[in-house]
Structure 1
Amino acid sequence: MRNFDYVRAADVEQAIMLHARGSDTVYLAGGTTLLDLMKLDITRPARVVDVHKLKLDQIEPLDDGRTRIGAMVSNTDLARHEHIRRHYPVLSQALLSGASTQLRNKATTAGNVMQRVRCGYFRDGVSPCNKRTPGSGCAAVDGLNRNVHAVLGGSPQCIAAHPSDMCVAMVAIGATVHVQGPKGRRDIAFADFHLLPGDTPWKEHALEAGEIITHITLDAPMPGSRSAYLKLRDRGSYQFALASSAVIVALDGNTVRDIRIALGGVSTKPWRAAGAEAVLRGKPVSEALVREAGVSAMAGARSYGQNGFKLNLGQQAVVRNLSLLTA
């Protein structure tokens, strides 16, 4: 462990001020990702600004039907909150499928959004990794890439899959990320917050220097909808998804009035499957149409060898979830 300065912020404004006092500064909330990366010597901050005591731990239903979630709300509190369980069951299910109870008790909403990839080449500190050392290459493209590597949204520079379950549910629901920084406050559409690797895989999100997430606002629930999160993995608990799907669907009789589908485990960012939604929207549900939607959800996917099975598994994550929700 390298030496670093540690300071605790009393409010958001002080946190931003403390962050701005030096370079190589990071915010610390639950620490479930940051502390791991510091111990591995992957992240080497000169200063840590502790923000976990900020008064951003409320879940607030808004008058317009949306729901505002403070950045410091723990994953456990969010998953177990009665309003979330009733109106956003897909989000509660996604959170409860991730990590362990101990980690969920510490992990925060903003930290979950900001968590970094679990690629072994990124974390070993020595392999070529453009995300860790820009320009060094991507060892995963031709290396071991079965579990935590993507078949959607990758590039020759990086194929690491985004690890979050919560974020898959949120991109299906629709949300806004509220941030504050040295230049003031601004809002970022959740679908635009995480960036594709492209030629700059070290740029993982849309935050600017010194900005901190203060809240996330979920869109109002889809009227008359049902939803579910399905996570497929090698073992039944405490493992990242090989493929997952978040589906929200509203039916008029047997006809799909509206639908939202998102994928995880197979993509470099939380992946909204708009093409699959278009296949189903406004049409009567049938087995053939559900299969067509599954194929469409994985349109453009590319195998990198060992992870090629995800092309079919991603389809199955969508088909199985849709079949259960529309039965």
Structure 2
Amino acid sequence: MKAFTYQRADTATGAAAAAVKPSAKIIAGGTNLLDLMKLQVETPSTLIDINRLPLDKIDETPEGGLRIGALVRNSDLAADPRVRQRYGVLSRALLAGASAQLRNKATTGGNLLQRTRCYYFYDISKPCNKRSPGSGCAALAGFNRIHAILGTSDQCIATHPSDMAVAMRALDAKVETSNREGDTKVIPIAEFHRLPGRTPEIETSLKPGEIVTAVTLPPPPPGVQVYRKVRDRASYAFALVSVAAIVDSTRGRIRSARLAFGGLAHKPWRSPQAEQKLANASADTTTFDAAANAVLEGARGFGGNDFKIPLTRRTLHSVLAEMTRT
């Protein structure tokens, strides 16, 4: 790990101002950043500790939703009675995401901003356009079992590792930010994470000197909520495929559905076309097939991850069958 300067921020504007420098990084729980620093994937000149900021509360909103501070720990968020009762998909995603020790340190804002677990991104001896733009993507012809099948480009086929973000995508969360002038902004989570395109090193819509302060959840949608995570081992591995599903159904018929997927793309993946196939439709194999076809439109494997295409189909079928069983 290379030497760095450490400073504590007392205000959000102060933290944002210090973070304007490209060589500066915000630190809260540090569960991802410190690993990257040890491997010299990240080599910040300055760490800005934001743990003193008053961003660790979960508050009711006038609309009937929740506002979650960026410093709320994953363990506290998963255990909050309001989250468990009204946003079960989020609580389950958080519990599936990491060990209790990590959940006690990891924060809401940091979870959204964690970086890919691509082997080549973590290995500084290998080319990686995300880590070193223009160097190439070793995963394209390398070991790509965990990599993306949707929204890829010839620059990058990495996936976003967060479970929490997948659930928040299904819930239509909004991300609140603040800059060094104290100006605030609200970004729909659908627009917060970016697909790789030609600039895989740009992972979110945050601007330099802009920090996450909170995430807002709207009132919970009707229906049953489920988070299903398929992984190589049960002990907190990252998702090969995950599904955050919210389905409102009765007597074998689906009224409405929301589907968000993890492990498939550079960002939490949602398919409006699949949701349209399920709306006001019979809960049967034909409908589930149509939804899966819509989700997988344009999907492409790269050899080692070809299995993700049928795995996604089977996982979605299983989730929908379970949720609509009467």
**CA distances 1:250-299 after superposition (whole Å, capped 9, x unpaired):** 12443322210011111111000212111110112112212321232111
**Distance (Å, rounded) in 1 between the aligned partners of 2:226 and 2:247:** 9
Match for residue 262 of structure 2?
A: 264
Match for residue 174 of structure 2?
A: 176
**Distance (Å, rounded) in 2 between the aligned partners of 1:165 and 1:156:** 25
Aligned residue identity for 1:46: S
> Is the 2:170–2:244 Cα contact (8 Å) retained in structure 1?
yes
Hey, which bits of structure 1, 4+ residues long, moved more than 3 A?
none
Does residue 109 in structure 1 map to residue 127 in structure 2?
no
Aligned residue identity for 1:254: G
Aligned residue identity for 1:90: V
> Is the 2:149–2:300 Cα contact (8 Å) retained in structure 1?
yes
Instruction: In structure 1, list runs of 5 or more residues that go unmatched.
Output: none
Does residue 276 in structure 1 map to residue 282 in structure 2?
no
> Is the 2:71–2:107 Cα contact (8 Å) retained in structure 1?
yes
Match for residue 138 of structure 1?
A: 137
Match for residue 48 of structure 1?
A: 47
> Is the 2:70–2:109 Cα contact (8 Å) retained in structure 1?
yes
Compute the displacement of 1:59 (Å): 1.0
> Is the 1:65–1:220 Cα contact (8 Å) retained in structure 2?
yes
> Is the 1:23–1:46 Cα contact (8 Å) retained in structure 2?
no
> Is the 1:68–1:215 Cα contact (8 Å) retained in structure 2?
yes
CA RMSD of aligned residues (A): 1.2
Match for residue 6 of structure 1?
A: 6
Compute the displacement of 1:246 (Å): 0.6
Which one of 279, 283, 286 corresponds to residue 284 of structure 2? 286
Equivalent runs, 1:118-197 vs 2, <5 Å? 118-147=117-146, 149-183=147-181, 184-197=183-196
For normalisation by structure 2, the TM-score amounts to 0.97
| Segment drifting more, 45-54 vs 283-292 | 283-292
**Distance (Å, rounded) in 2 between the aligned partners of 1:178 and 1:258:** 28
> Is the 2:63–2:218 Cα contact (8 Å) retained in structure 1?
no
**Distance (Å, rounded) in 2 between the aligned partners of 1:47 and 1:234:** 37
Where 2:36 maps in the other structure, the secondary structure is helix
**Distance (Å, rounded) in 1 between the aligned partners of 2:288 and 2:17:** 51
> Is the 1:293–1:319 Cα contact (8 Å) retained in structure 2?
no
Compute the displacement of 1:102 (Å): 0.4
Match for residue 235 of structure 1?
A: 233
Does residue 19 in structure 1 map to residue 19 in structure 2?
yes
For normalisation by structure 1, the TM-score amounts to 0.96
Where 2:140 maps in the other structure, the secondary structure is coil
Compute the displacement of 1:13 (Å): 2.2
Where 2:84 maps in the other structure, the secondary structure is helix
> Is the 1:64–1:220 Cα contact (8 Å) retained in structure 2?
yes
> Is the 1:97–1:237 Cα contact (8 Å) retained in structure 2?
no
Aligned residues: 324
Where 1:118 maps in the other structure, the secondary structure is coil
Equivalent runs, 1:219-258 vs 2, <5 Å? 219-223=218-222, 225-258=223-256
Where 1:306 maps in the other structure, the secondary structure is coil
